[in-house]
Amino acid sequence: MPKPLFVEQDPYLEPYRQILAGRLDKILLKKKELAKEKSLREFADGYHRYGLHQTPDGWLAREWAPGATGIWLTGTFNDWKIQDQYRFRKGADGNWELKLNPEDLHHLDEYKYFISWAGGGDFRLPLWAKRVIQDEVT
């Protein structure tokens, strides 16, 4: 295994060379996985694509959940119920999408997702939410 440059520059890291090189390999693999055909910077701008966005036609929610078997939007607008009209459609590469009419959601509606997976499911905060609030009870 070649010695990373930072280990050459700092001999005190030599005893940890293999561990650090292994971590560096994992970082590079994850970077490649996240960015795929685009740059890491473009991946970091994912909040433009993912999350809940108001559009001229209503609302558009997108989430990346490759291990999910189903995703539903729940919130104050539907008494936190899991309903088919709020079920996301599965797309390619773990992407999920939900389109809603303008009247389906309103400013300051609270929401979260119910995500199902093989063997279970639970409520989750959206990964790309721009604002979250803490439940005063918990």
Q: What structural domains does the chain harbor? A: 5-38 (no CATH), 49-124 (2.60.40.10)
Per-residue pLDDT of 28-81, as tens digits, reads 888 887 777 677 788 778 888 899 999 999 999 999 999 999 999 999 999 999
Q: What angle do CA 121, 124, 128 make, to 5 degrees?
A: 135
- In this structure, which amino acid lies at residue 55? T
Look at 121 and 35; give whichever has higher pLDDT: 121
**Mean pLDDT (the chain, rounded):** 91
Which has the closest alpha carbon to 64: 119, 124, 131, 109?
Answer: 124
